[in-house]
Amino acid sequence: RDAEDVVVPTSGGRYDVHLKKRQRVAVYWEEEVSEVRRCTWFYKGDKDNKYIPYSESFSEELEEAYMVAVTLDEWKKKLESPSREVIILHNPKLMVHYHPVASSDDWGSTPTEQGRPRTVKRGVENISAEIPNGEPLQIDHLVFVVHGIGPACDIRFRSIVQCVNDFRSVSLSMLQAHFRKAQEQQQIGRVEFLPVNWHSALHSTGVDVDLERITLPSINRLRHFINDTILDVFFYNSSTYCQTIVDTVASEMNRLYQLFLRRNPLFKGGVSIAGHSLGSLILFDLLTNQKADPEEGEHSGEAARATTGSRGIEGVKEILKELELCEYCDVFEKEKMDRQALFLCTEENLKEMGIPLGPRMKILHYISSKGETQ
């Protein structure tokens, strides 16, 4: 099994731990990969008295020194950690970790063993570590949470992921407080909350570059804060960017829902959506303009479907036909260009697609004239 990368779902299935790589990866959203350690040797922290694992490489050094000391019955072993701190193995029951304290010697002498030492432990025996029970495997309901303006979602400037974590923890605490017996008997499960992020998708369209070009250098922080937050309201009042936001929210919920079903094939619960601030308006518009597809029946397997405006390449073909540019339909189809993408096109984009100058001017004039009226 050592040659395989065993993947273990953790935190209610929202993260995957790759055992071979020792990495913890978020499943539903983008997040920096975090390190996972196979714990053998620990030291007690200074602030909260919790035991903290050493790195795996240094744990191997400690284990090797420990085994030599046990085998030869030679103790008082001294090792230096990667951060140049000193660990001394006095005997099997007394192992300590000293902070490095700079000496007053101007000749750069090594750190002296001063200060209160930390306790070092081998293994997890007699360590009063509080290991959480984890979340119930059964999920009865799924809630998508859509954020409002800006990348931060509360006065502490936390992300949508962090804020949704609070929803989940409060929900779990309420279940444990009021329905503990039903949970233990597996009569009820839990509510899963998943964040829907549209801000990063909007600001990755190149709009930030345009904003930067016209942002004055005075009161720099305030102007950039407004660019990241308040301007989202104006973007939503723009026909082009409003459609981008609505499409992003709909497609992101559908992506999350399909991924959730693949990872939870036994899920038969309901789905709800919750929006904060501008997020509630986005959801209202999305639901108001949603139309049922008669070919797919009542349960289509999608959380939401955006139907505002013309969809797909057919809408673009109609525009090209109106402009008498039907010969370029194949080019736009090859680039998977729908109506929304067309209205985001610049002259440089059309040039990269190989569209000649004359047709480019026609298309750009159409975009500028129609974009104001839609």
Q: Which residues are catalytic?
A: 277
Query: Residue 142: CB partners within 8 Å, gap ≥ 6?
Result: 191, 192, 194, 257, 260, 267, 269, 270, 271, 272
Residue 250 tokens, joined: 């709909």
d(CA 264, CA 257): 10
Give SS3 for 94. Answer: strand
Residue 305 tokens, joined: 């479907």
Q: How many CA atoms lie within 13 A of 346 on its CB side?
A: 6
φ, ψ (nearest 5 deg) of residue 368: -70, -35
With 0-12 CB in 10 A as exposed, 13-18 as middle and 19+ as buried, what is 291? exposed
- Asked whether 36 and 24 are in contact (CB, 8 A), the reply is yes
Strand order through the sheet with 41-44:
51-53, 41-44, 112-122, 94-101, 86-91, 77-80
Helix and strand counts by DSSP (H, E) for the chain = 14, 13
CA angle 56, 60, 64 (to 5 degrees): 170
- Asked whether 120 and 41 are in contact (CB, 8 A), the reply is yes
With 0-12 CB in 10 A as exposed, 13-18 as middle and 19+ as buried, what is 135? buried
Strand residues in the chain grouped as ranges (E): 7-10, 15-18, 23-26, 34-35, 41-44, 51-53, 77-80, 86-91, 94-101, 112-122, 139-146, 190-196, 270-275
